[in-house]
Structures are given as structure tokens and as C-alpha cells.
Amino acid sequence: DALARYMWMNGYNVLHPMGWDSFGLPAENAAIQNNTPPREWTLGNIAKMKAQMKRLGFAYDWSREVTTCLPDYYHWNQWFFLKFYEKGLAYRKKSKVNWCPQCATVLANEQVLPNGCCWRHEDTLVEQRELEQWFLRITKYADELLRDLEKLDGWPEKVRTMQRNWIGRSEGALVDFKLDYAEDRSGFGPAGGTISVFTTRIDTIFGATSVQLAPQHPIVADLAASNPDLRAKVDQLIVEQRKAKEGGDIGEIEKHGVSTGRYAINPFNGEKIPVWVANYILMDYGTGAIMSVPAHDDRDYEFAKKYNLEIRLVVLPISNDPEETVTEPRLPFIAHEGMLINSGRFSGLECADAIKKMSAYAEEKGFGKPTVTYRLKDWGISRQRYWGTPIPMLYCEKDGIVPVPEKDLPVILPANVDITLAGGSPLGRVPEFVNVTCPKCGGPARRETDTMDTFVDSSWYFYRYTDAHNDHAPFDSKTVEYWFPIDQYIGGVEHAILHLIYSRFWTKFMRDLGLVTDDEPVERLFTQGMVIKDGAKMSKSLGNVVSPDEMVARYGADAARLYSLFAAPPDRDLDWQDSGIEGIQRFLGRVYRFVTRNAASAARAQAESPSATPLSPQARQIQRKLHQTIKRVSDDFQGRWHFNTCISAIMELVNALYAYEESAMAESQSTGSSSAALLAEVQHDLVLLLAPFAPYLAHELWEMLGEKGNLLKAAWPKYDAALAKEEELEIPVQINGKLRSRVTVPAGASESFVLERALADEKVRSSIAGKQIVKKIFVPGKLVNIVVK
């Protein structure tokens, strides 16, 4: 808000909106707990929070307010969903999904914590369930999402790295290993007789001495179907893997495996190698199957040592010294800088070259191909909960999946629904919602009863701010063109992956629809720190919250605003201390008292014509301080946003003004007309400098100074470099780098002048007495250092 106010005062047209991301599980759960319908509960909270925001003096443009849980907004979620479906980017798939038993709904991968627990229930383990789900094909944009991170140089490196890791692009190859009984498939299930393996090191394939499958791999199920003993052992591996995920240290799982007793054929050399099942192979990465090359991978090495599998060297290090060849490198030898041996026709190639040639060869022969895998998965958006956007799809016995026609949007979320956690989607229990006629055949159809993930709501809301009341489109593209991309987005790091990757995806999709011209929605991103109180993040769940109402009641809105900016720079966490805000309150009192007791004389001085009398040295000093302060505050708004030091600077100015008043009184100087005019200027500029931070006080004082009109339209004070310049400087004098004295010289004094003064200084003379001057260092305006021996 301070920044927006500053920009306004500098003549910019600022879009400074606020809205309510108000669908979702937390709201629904709270509503259930409070035995209130979610809509009522949510709108009630919005009203409360809006009042709090207004009380805090946020200059939001409420005419642009967006509320995602109201039909005029979620209408367009549904519209976008139809567009995704039209373009083949929304699809329905039966799949294993993350299921939180507490939320009683599916979670996106992004909503499962690294320890396998729910993001909302940090001690509830997420289960896997097979369900029909709607997915958005975010993976279509995986490469672009990754590539365009390079363009986002206004984003913190940290966020870009997190997104890069999340997308997790990995170049490699798929290679098919046929099971040795592939010719005779009798008795084997639908998975067939081929194991497709993903590897980034196809160059080491001649060193593969086993194939390792994830315990959940479909072929394992086939093999174990007729083998209860194997089934039991595999189940044990699954349990171990679950436990490790639960403990959050899958990386440190003790490797276990079991041989299936079967063999697979390495297509490169026709060799039969054993097929194992291992607890360290993850079904949700790559193909859930690997070729194990113990000599060139440390995990495979560890496993092979444990189970006594063959370790075969196929890459030798390339030595810097051509005379020397290392024939027995320390195992496992993982580096890519090597040369192939024991690899048939590929022996002698360097690794990088071999990777290209061997994957091309596999493709040519039809048993593999170069491929890229991603950690990023398609976005599952179905939620079996009530409080969300209804998915605008119908199921007709005759026509199958039928989208709701655009003209029938929005599909309104029915009110008065019995929400319980049991029995699947609550909407499924509302017959008048579920039972519809198929728009294609006129026969009976059922509505989709799942709702959309809330992250859908937040993926494009910022575009809606430009045109919040449009009822025939999500927004007008021309209007968007004027405002977008967003110059400055501000939010917590907790949005680094989820929200900010979905938003980027949505923007790229809207671009491909021709709705927007942006590749990226946000030009500059600023990640704020959190508010810490009593050593913990301030949060509703921990109960260490200072409510804004309480704050405003006790200290006033301005003090609360100023303190939250003063306590730490905004990119750092902020340690909330009640005693700190009291100090700010005192400061505001000092400002108020100063301006009020001088307001009358200032007004008078303004009315009179300024006299030509030169300013007293003290008054000149105040003038200088004022201009220095204007510079410091302005610079920070344009640069680092370290508002804590801006506020310090204003405090210093006020302290100087108090000292000036006192000295003027002590010397019983009658304030001449030029001094009075200066005072008037100082008061005006002081009020303007405070306006972005403390708008209430600033407006009050602004009127007291006889000014009229909105402070947001008042011009930000200009600083005058000539007036800000010091006339005299105190230059520190160091001897051998240690401070020994200071000399006062006119600003811009020459080297010889300053050195002469320094060497004439009493303390300096005694310090260097009897020593030899080796070197004299003069940094203009900064210091003098005399090196002696």
C-alpha cells in the first residue's frame, strides 16, 4: 500500500486491487465446524476482513473487487474449463490419486508434503486411491514453463530454482527389455512381456547387470499373481517405502530387494539379466523401472554389493595425462567424463557422444528412443468436496461425456447442501443438481459432482481485476493489454511453486487462446517474509495472532502500518514485538506535536513573501537534512524497498527538528521570515514523506497546514542535490588503518589540503612521531589513511 501510494504521488496510474480467494477446503471445514453454510460463513468473513483492511487505510480500488466463490467469477472458471476441454487439455482419467482421509478428497501432487502427508493435515498420511479424475495437461507446457524461467529476471533466483526443480526435466532414453519368456506369454497378465526402462546413462547399458522394478510396477503384479511368496515380499517392500516416505527420508531408505526369479534381455547385447523388485525404485518417476549399472551408479553399486550382483566396468575415466590410463577407477565411477569399454561397437566412444549414438541406435532398431521425462505431472483438479467451482460436465448414457454448453454457464453451486465428509462428493446427494437432460440427445444425463481445486480460482484472478464486472467474457483483452503484464506482484514464498506455476501455465494457455499477448503474467515478483511472534510463524492455527482490530484499537492504524514496515525489511521475516509498536506510536506523537505547534507560523510564513535574508547555519542544516531525507526515502522506494531505513531517516529528520527548535529557543533567536518559510517547507515535505506510510496522520496534518484535496494527488517532494550537499565534512584520519582522529574540512577539499590538515592534527602527530611515513591514502570525501613504519 505504501508503494502504491508513492507511485500515485509520482503521477502513475496504479491498479491496486484486492479480492477474495474464497473457495476451498479450509473455508468449507471452518464452516462445518461453525455449523454455518459455507457461503454465509465466507461472505461474513469477507465483510469482516474488508472492514479491517479499510480501517488499516489500504487504498484499494474496491470497484475492482473480485470474489472467487461468487458465480460472476466462477462462471469463467467453468468457461476456461470448457476451453481446456475443447483444446484437448482437459481430460478424464482413472488414476491413482492422492487421497486425504481427513479432507475426504483428492489432493494435487503439489498439495502433498514431502513426508507424504496432507498440506492441511500435517500428520495425516495421504493414501492412494483409484478414481476417475479430471486433469489439466500442464505437462504440455512443461518445456516452456522451464525455458521461460530464464526470462523472469525480475523474479528471485530462489523461486526460479524451486520451479526448475519442480518441473524436473531430465533428458534420457527409454529402452525396452523383453522378459525371457516374452515369446510364450501364456499365463501372464495385461502388462505383457516388456519392461520399459528410463535411463539418463544409456552409455552404460553394457554394464547393466539387473533390471529393478518399483514394487507397484504392473509387471510385478503379474509375476506375483501366481507366486504368493513373492507377493508377500513385495508387499513388505511397499510397506518399507511407505514408511520411509512417511518419515520424510525416502532418500535414506535402507535398500531392500527381492529377485523375481525371471530374466530380461538387454537389447544391446542379448544378455539375460535378472529382474528384481526394490524398495528404492519409485513408481511415480520415469517408468518405475530401471536398468541397474552397479559400476556407474552409487545406488546400484550399493544394491549390488548387498545382494552380490555382478559389477561390470564399462566406462574408464579420461585422464588429463594422455600417457596414463586408469584401468581400475574407484567404484562406482559416476562421472560423465569417460570413455566406453566392453561395449561392443560403441567401445571407444566418449560418454556424451555414446549417449547420442546409442539412443539413436535403439530408436533405429525399434527397442528404445531418446526421451525427456518430467517430475511435473498433469494437474488433477477434481475435488470431492462441496465448496468449489462445479465442473461443467455431464455424463449421458448415450453420448458419454458431454460439456455443458457455454450458454448454460454458470453452473450454479446449489445452496442448502448437506455437507458431510462421508460418502463422496456432497453434490452427488442433490438430485436436482445431478439429474439433467443431455443437451445433445435430450435424454437423461448426470452432472459431474466434483468441484475444481481452488488453485484454479487463483490462476487467473489478476486478469479479472482489469475488468471485474464483465459478464460476457472473463475480461476484455484490450483492457488487459493496457495493464499487463503485472509490474509488481507481492506474495509469500509459500506460493513459489503451486500458485505461481499454475498462474504461468494458465497465462500461456490464455495466450494460445488469443485472449492475452503475454507469455508471462508477472514481470517482477517480490517474496515477503512471514510475521513471527514468540518464535513462531504468526498463524491462526497456532493462535499467536495479533488481530488487526486490536492493533488499530490500541495503537492506531498508522502505527500498525509503520511498525510492520519499520521492524524489518519486507523480504525478511518480521519479529512482532508489542513494545516496538509503542515506540512508533511515540514517534507519530512527536510528528503531530511538532507540526501542530508550528502550523500557525508556517501558514503565516507561506502567506508572506519570502524574504531574502540568508538562513542561519542551524536553519541551513535543517534544510540540508530535509533534502537528504527526501533523497533517501525516494531512493528506497525505487530500489530496495527497505522501508525500515526510510522510516529511520524520517525519524532522524524529526529528531533534528526538535533539536533545532530547542537551539532556536535557547539562543532566543527570533525566527526570521526566511527561517519561518523554511519551516513551512519542512512541514509540508515531512507530511508528504509520511503520507505513504501513515495516511491518516498525514491527511490530518495536511489539512492543519491549510492544504486541501487528496494527498494521493499531491506531488511527491523533489529533492535538490545542491541543498542536500554538505558544506563541511568530518574526515576520519587513520594511522595504519586504525582510526586516530578526525579533521573538519570544506566539502570538496583537495588532497593536499586535507592531508596537510591531517598531518597538523595533534593526535595524528603524536601517533606518528618517530615513525616513517610509507604511504598516504586519500579517499575524497571519505577518509585519510597514513601508513607508517
Partner RNA sequence: GCCGGGAUGGCGAAAUUGGCAGACGCAGCGGACUUAAAAUCCGCAGGUCCGAAAGGACUGUGGGGGUUCGAUUCCCCCUCCCGGCACCA
Rule CB under 7 A: which of 730-759 touch RNA?
730, 732, 734, 736-740, 742
Contact 601, 671 (CB under 8 A): yes
Residue 558 interacts with RNA (CB under 7 A): yes or no: no
Residue 432 interacts with RNA (CB under 7 A): yes or no: no
Contact 674, 622 (CB under 8 A): no
The Cα-based distances of 374 to 77, 614, 720 in angstroms read 27, 73, 56
In DSSP terms, which residues pair with 172 in a beta bridge?
Answer: 371
Among 6, 84, 134, 198, binds RNA (CB under 7 A): 198
Among 644, 673, 703, 712, binds RNA (CB under 7 A): 644
Among 31, 145, 179, 250, binds RNA (CB under 7 A): 250
Show Cβ contacts of residue 107 under 8 Å, excluding neighbours closer than 6 positions.
Answer: 97, 98, 99, 100, 118, 119, 126
- Which residues in the 83-142 window bind RNA by CB under 7 A? 114
Shorter beta-carbon distance to RNA: residue 570 or 695: 570
Residue 358 interacts with RNA (CB under 7 A): yes or no: no
- CA–CA dist 198, 180 (Å, integer): 19
Residue 512 interacts with RNA (CB under 7 A): yes or no: no
At residue 481, what are phi and psi to the nearest 5 degrees? -55, -40
Among 83, 499, 632, 684, binds RNA (CB under 7 A): 632
* Shortest distance, position 194 Cβ to RNA, whole Å: 16
DSSP 119: S
DSSP 282-320: -TTSTTSEEEE-GGG-HHHHHHHHHHT------EEEPPS
Residue 388 interacts with RNA (CB under 7 A): yes or no: no
HSE, side-chain direction, 13 A CA sphere, residue 281: 29
In three-state form (DSSP H/G/I as H, E/B as E, the rest C), the secondary structure along 631-673 is HHHHHHHHCCCCHHHHHHHHHHHHHHHHHHHHHHHHCCCCCCH
Among 567, 602, 705, 711, binds RNA (CB under 7 A): 567
* Shortest distance, position 52 Cβ to RNA, whole Å: 23
What is the CA angle 769-774-780, rounded to 5? 100
Residue 249 interacts with RNA (CB under 7 A): yes or no: yes
Residue 596 interacts with RNA (CB under 7 A): yes or no: no
Show Cβ contacts of residue 408 under 8 Å, excluding neighbours closer than 6 positions.
Answer: 392, 439
Contact 135, 378 (CB under 8 A): yes
Residue 473 interacts with RNA (CB under 7 A): yes or no: no
Shorter beta-carbon distance to RNA: residue 32 or 783: 783
Q: At what angle do helices 643-666 and 578-607 cross, to 10 degrees?
A: 50
- Which residues in the 201-230 window bind RNA by CB under 7 A? 201, 214
Which set of grid coordinates corresponds to residue 4? 502504491
* Shortest distance, position 1 Cβ to RNA, whole Å: 20
- Which residues in the 572-591 window bind RNA by CB under 7 A? 572-575, 577, 579-580, 582-584, 586-587, 589-590
* Shortest distance, position 636 Cβ to RNA, whole Å: 6
- Which residues in the 149-178 window bind RNA by CB under 7 A? 157-158, 161-162, 165-166, 168, 170, 172
Residue 601 interacts with RNA (CB under 7 A): yes or no: no
Contact 325, 316 (CB under 8 A): yes
Shorter beta-carbon distance to RNA: residue 47 or 779: 779
* Shortest distance, position 705 Cβ to RNA, whole Å: 20
Shorter beta-carbon distance to RNA: residue 46 or 651: 651
- Name the segment binding RNA (CB under 7 A); options: 4-12, 318-326, 331-339, 641-649: 641-649
- Which residues in the 278-297 window bind RNA by CB under 7 A? 279-283, 285-288, 290-291, 297
Residue 779 interacts with RNA (CB under 7 A): yes or no: yes
Among 253, 311, 334, 546, binds RNA (CB under 7 A): 253
- Which residues in the 38-57 window bind RNA by CB under 7 A? none
Show Cβ contacts of residue 365 under 8 Å, excluding neighbours closer than 6 positions.
Answer: 267
* Shortest distance, position 298 Cβ to RNA, whole Å: 7
Among 763, 765, 771, 773, binds RNA (CB under 7 A): 763
- Which residues in the 701-730 window bind RNA by CB under 7 A? 730
* Shortest distance, position 700 Cβ to RNA, whole Å: 18
- Which residues in the 487-506 window bind RNA by CB under 7 A? 493, 497
Among 12, 181, 482, 658, binds RNA (CB under 7 A): 658
Contact 45, 52 (CB under 8 A): no
Shorter beta-carbon distance to RNA: residue 510 or 654: 654
**Where would I find the beta strands (DSSP E) of 32-191?**
66-67, 90-100, 105-107, 127-136, 170-179
- Which of these, 789, 179, 76, 186, lies nearest to 467 by C-alpha position? 76
Total residues at interface with RNA (CB under 7 A): 93
Among 647, 679, 698, 749, binds RNA (CB under 7 A): 647
- Which of these, 176, 163, 769, lies nearest to 498 by C-alpha position? 163
Residue identified by cell 589540503 is: 753
Shorter beta-carbon distance to RNA: residue 250 or 677: 250
- Which of these, 669, 696, 698, 694, lies nearest to 683 by C-alpha position? 698
Among 48, 185, 365, 782, binds RNA (CB under 7 A): 782
Residue 626 interacts with RNA (CB under 7 A): yes or no: no
At residue 435, what are phi and psi to the nearest 5 degrees? -85, 115
Shorter beta-carbon distance to RNA: residue 574 or 619: 574
- CA–CA dist 224, 235 (Å, integer): 10
* Shortest distance, position 292 Cβ to RNA, whole Å: 8
- CA–CA dist 200, 211 (Å, integer): 15
Residue 765 interacts with RNA (CB under 7 A): yes or no: no
